[in-house]
A = this chain, B = another copy of it.
């Protein structure tokens, strides 16, 4: 398929001729990969933030960098907003389509282009699934560190856009720490290479800027990732406590002892029971106020010593019991419930809304008490599952979307939790991005003048404002008090074709 499209004549201020646009896209990617009927577009009307829905005008599935560039060139020429989408598992609406927009889906771009074990790097296309990277190198004793809960389905392109994290990011950092460079298509359709294949790249750190920019600066079409040596030894500890605070102070004490576990996760009583109801791990005690999962990796002797020290710290903080697992099967069993936690909420309640705030570790007790108070005040259950080591909370608010006004109230409650995070010196996002969902809270963290600086950068890359517009940065139009406009806009379904 040729990547050079016949571009229809510029239409100035006339209504968009979607048929002509579709024809141009068909010339680039072929008829099969230009999705334009209302029925087919249903599959793409939301991402993992399912309470927001919007159909794009058209969706295109390019297969190469050149095809992406050609598609974007048409968007540039017609000033058509475009939104990039990987697997669509994001939780902040970063890949939520916009009305009258072009959705550019990278899911056909699934090649692992290069595996360079000697230099510990892998080059992949954006549609490659997160855990395929580890699968491609695990035989040789390597792995790719960032591991979102959705790792068996989420794509590397989406991970780059949202700067995704995971349970092992306490020790190894989020996506931005593992991307060395990328090939990107800018909003004018030009192709650029940023970063390099080694960590040290001179000039401005455009790779760092691009990771986490949620499709507002362009689209990645190739990504060079760092891979790490697999640890010689791994142990997982499961401790259970009679208060959540005790688990929290254990986490602080472990870090203070100079031990950096691979991951430290807390689940509260509601989450424990939800997962036991669902996946029956039979190792999370249902009467515990909280459990703490700690994974320690490294050399055999180091892991053995650290595990002993961590166990002692757990008991010092009042743990009732500490279980240790070192063989892969046992470890998997201990992790099983945590991995299934979000899904389990779907059993407990018709709907749930997950937030992603960050707090300094030292404020954990206070913040949990406040969340409990807010939960009571608003009358909605809030289950807490979190990356405790880095203070990244995931409060899960349970509700029923069929109840009129429930979602609005729940979003307000979520907003209160985010404001609370900022008040104690934290952040409104740890790893899910801002997307459409949280841009209204950006002014809680940044002054207008600081946000303006981000806008300058955005305009430098995208002077026409067509790359995922209205995402990340708040605009007066979309940020009225409590206004999250997309989720119940009952958007008009237009028959264009």
Alpha-carbon gap, A206 to B445, bound state (A):
14
Q: Is the CB of A392 within 8 A of B200?
A: yes
Known: A203-B473, A205-B209. A198 touches B453 (CB 8 A): no
A497 at the interface (CB under 8 A from B): no
A433 at the interface (CB under 8 A from B): yes
Known: A200-B431, A301-B302. A450 touches B193 (CB 8 A): yes
Number of interface residues of A (CB under 8 A): 75
Alpha-carbon gap, A438 to B203, bound state (A):
11
Known: A119-B362, A457-B206. A429 touches B200 (CB 8 A): yes
Q: Is the CB of B454 within 8 A of A457?
A: no
Near B by CB (< 8 A), chain A positions 98-126 give 118-119
Q: Is the CB of B204 within 8 A of A447?
A: no
- A196 contacts which chain B residues (CB < 8 A)? 427, 445
A405 at the interface (CB under 8 A from B): no
Alpha-carbon gap, A177 to B176, bound state (A):
11
Q: Is the CB of B208 within 8 A of A205?
A: yes
- A429 contacts which chain B residues (CB < 8 A)? 200, 202
Most chain B CB within a 10 A radius of its CB, from A119, A193, A199: A199
- A446 contacts which chain B residues (CB < 8 A)? 193, 203
Q: Is the CB of B301 within 8 A of A433?
A: no
Q: Is the CB of A192 within 8 A of B457?
A: no
A460 at the interface (CB under 8 A from B): yes
Q: Is the CB of B192 within 8 A of A390?
A: no
Alpha-carbon gap, A459 to B202, bound state (A):
18
Shortest Cβ distance from A27 into chain B, in angstroms?
Answer: 25
A394 at the interface (CB under 8 A from B): no
A201 at the interface (CB under 8 A from B): yes
In the complex, which of the residues B194, B204, B427 contacts A201, with contact meaning CB atoms closer than 8 Å? B427
Q: Is the CB of A193 within 8 A of B447?
A: yes
- A204 contacts which chain B residues (CB < 8 A)? 209, 212-213, 217, 454, 457-458, 472
A197 at the interface (CB under 8 A from B): yes
Q: Is the CB of A211 within 8 A of B200?
A: no
- A213 contacts which chain B residues (CB < 8 A)? 204
Alpha-carbon gap, A426 to B301, bound state (A):
36
Alpha-carbon gap, A473 to B204, bound state (A):
10
Shortest Cβ distance from A113 into chain B, in angstroms?
Answer: 15
Q: Is the CB of B425 within 8 A of A192?
A: no
- A359 contacts which chain B residues (CB < 8 A)? 198
- A174 contacts which chain B residues (CB < 8 A)? 200
Q: Is the CB of B456 within 8 A of A460?
A: yes
In the complex, which of the residues B212, B442, B451, B460 contacts A205, with contact meaning CB atoms closer than 8 Å? B212
- A211 contacts which chain B residues (CB < 8 A)? 205
A231 at the interface (CB under 8 A from B): yes
Most chain B CB within a 10 A radius of its CB, from A197, A429, A457: A457
A229 at the interface (CB under 8 A from B): yes
- A360 contacts which chain B residues (CB < 8 A)? 118-119, 197-198
Q: Is the CB of B358 within 8 A of A425?
A: no
A21 at the interface (CB under 8 A from B): no
- A456 contacts which chain B residues (CB < 8 A)? 460-461
Q: Is the CB of A206 within 8 A of B453?
A: yes
Known: A119-B361, A192-B450, A298-B302. A202 touches B428 (CB 8 A): yes
Near B by CB (< 8 A), chain A positions 395-430 give 425-430
- A205 contacts which chain B residues (CB < 8 A)? 176, 205, 208-209, 211-212
Shortest Cβ distance from A258 into chain B, in angstroms?
Answer: 4
Alpha-carbon gap, A186 to B449, bound state (A):
11
A468 at the interface (CB under 8 A from B): no
Known: A192-B453, A209-B208, A301-B302. A203 touches B431 (CB 8 A): no
- Chain B residue at minimum C-beta to C-beta distance from A231: B258
Near B by CB (< 8 A), chain A positions 283-321 give 298-299, 301-302, 305-306
Near B by CB (< 8 A), chain A positions 223-243 give 229-232
Alpha-carbon gap, A461 to B431, bound state (A):
27
In the A-B complex, the 8 residue pairs with the closest CB atoms? A208-B208, A460-B460, A302-B302, A202-B429, A456-B460, A229-B258, A200-B358, A200-B427
- A200-B431, A204-B458 are known; give 17 further A-B pairs, CB within 8 A: A119-B360, A119-B362, A176-B205, A177-B177, A193-B446, A193-B447, A196-B427, A200-B358, A202-B438, A203-B446, A204-B213, A205-B205, A206-B209, A208-B209, A299-B305, A302-B305, A453-B461
7 contacts between A and B (CB under 8 A): A119-B425, A192-B453, A193-B446, A200-B429, A206-B453, A209-B209, A457-B457
